[in-house]
Amino acid sequence: MSSTAGQVIRCKAAVAWEAGKPLVMEEVEVAPPQAMEVRLKILFTALCHTDVYFWEAKGQTPLFPRIFGHEAGGIVESVCEGVTDLKPGDHVLPVFTGECKECRHCKSEESNMCDLLRINTDRGVMLNDGKSRFSIRGQPIYHFVGTSTFSEYTVVHVGCLAKINPAAPLDKVCILSCGVSTGLGATLNVAKPKKGSSVAIFGLVAVGLAVSFFSNTRLASNFPIQNVDADAKLVRVVSISQAAEGARIAGASRIIGVDLNSNRFNEAKKFGVTEFVNPKDYKKPVQEVIAEMTNGGVDRSVECTGSINAMISAFECVHDGWGVAVLVGVPNKDDSFKTHPMSFLNEKTLKGTFFGNYKPRSDLPSVVEMYMNKELELEKFITHEVPFSEINKAFDYMLGGASLRCIIRMEA
């Protein structure tokens, strides 16, 4: 057992006291884990658009003070009763959604939407007792999506921790706990393109695309970002480049990027995109353009923008008989998807996905092994790195559109 097991740990954490204000480095008290919980030491974390969205608190009920952060890698410090598959010293990735292994979803081979541990952005406390494990001079500090990795130590439900190969570099594989896995899995696990197939990806943004997190704004790609009900429990973040990486790994021979900003095309080549279509260059619907390019339509398409028009185009551009379209972006809560029923009768398939259909505990270790076996490239997603004391720079990079993923080193 750790020498600190069962004791309160005092450590540094970047606390958000108010919406949109710089995080403040504070000394926090981290209580010991309770039943089915694990306390871990965070070594590396990364900033995701989800953190920024809830930090800005636009179009939602603010919940402060709070410790954000959900993409990270760390080492188990101590465990409590009920935890049998983790021990102090294990390397883990905390994940914003979980796998209890007991509910119908967890027992199903087709779903990763755990009844108990599915993401809940409104909850700022632990499931066990409805209390926070963080405090400052007696004042509770709220958790964020059950992870709160912008702290040197955090407490997480065991079902939200993936035990990984200890040889894997945590400063690289930490980004697998959210966006990369979402985009990668949307292609590999749901679209499932065959070797030599054609894939269309809607929305090419060099930076991570978080279609559900920025209300009433537009990305550089000019696909409209939709207002999303802030009470929605399902949060989906994806980088288009990650979906393209999945298509590359699958062996697709044609990866067609679709975007309204041609300046994104050269950057997208780094992630395997082979051809580009700017809908503004044509007088006909983009789905018709793609159908003409591909002799009837692409084999697979992945839509990541949240634009309802892009979703319809992604579905209608796939080939009849075998074409599959996968929706990743989150639309406006009032949007409706409209297409002719004949598209379905002509055997086109429409699917959706959450976290790339990966079960966190069961599947993420194998994704880490993909990186270890050099099947998956992660370095090209990491554009910046800062020490924990300069975490606010990571926000500046992302808000300025300069960062895909910024790694935050917890130790100087």
Write out 306-357 in H/E/C secondary structure. CCHHHHHHHHHCECCCCCEEEECCCCCCCCCCCCCCHHHHCCCEEEECCHHH
Grouping H, G, I as helix, E, B as strand and the rest as coil, residue 230 is coil
Contact present, 198 and 325 (Cβ < 8 Å): no
Q: Is the distance from CB of 316 to CB of 221 less than 8 angstroms?
A: no
Task: Give Cβ neighbours of residue 137 (< 8 Å, ≥ 6 apart).
Answer: none
Question: Out of 71, 77, 99, 152, which one is annotated catalytic?
Answer: 71
Which of these is catalytic: 39, 66, 70, 133?
70
Active site residue 100: yes
Catalytic residue among 80, 160, 174, 178: 178
Residue 292 token pair:
């003409």
- Assigned token pair, 69: 């952060």
Is 369 assigned a catalytic role?
A: no
Known active-site residue 70:
yes
Q: Is 178 in the active site?
A: yes
Tell me whether residue 80 is one of the annotated catalytic residues: no
Catalytic residue among 103, 288, 377, 385: 103
Catalytic residue among 66, 91, 105, 118: 118
Q: Quote the tokens at residue 77.
A: 């410090």
CA distances from 193 to 86, 144, 226, 249, 252 (A): 35, 35, 28, 10, 7
Residue 50 a catalytic site member:
yes
For 382, the enclosing helix (H) or strand (E) is none
Residue with tokens 């079960």: 359
Beta bridge partners of 369: none
Alpha helices, DSSP H, located in 148-192:
170-173, 179-185
User: By the 8 A CB rule, do 51 and 38 touch?
Assistant: no
Structure token pair of residue 317: 């551009």
Catalytic residue among 26, 39, 48, 245: 48
39, 45, 50, 147: the active-site residue: 50
Q: Which of 371, 366, 368, 404 is nearest to 385 (CA)?
A: 404
- Which tokens is 339 given? 């297409």
Rounded Cα distance, 58 and 63, in Å: 12
Please indicate whether residue 405 is annotated as part of the active site: yes
Known catalytic residue: 267?
no
Report the alpha-carbon distance of residue 149 to residue 42 in Å, rounded. 7
Catalytic residue, from 97, 99, 100, 157: name it.
Answer: 100
Active-site option among 114, 160, 304, 406: 114
- Token digits for 306? 């949240």
Q: Which of 37, 39, 45, 49 is catalytic?
A: 49
Q: Which of 91, 300, 384, 405 is catalytic?
A: 405
Taking alpha carbons only, the member of 298, 297, 306 closest to residue 337 is 306
Please identify which of the residues 80, 106, 174, 317 carries the catalytic annotation: 106
Q: Which residues are catalytic?
A: 48-50, 70-71, 100, 103, 106, 114, 118, 178, 405
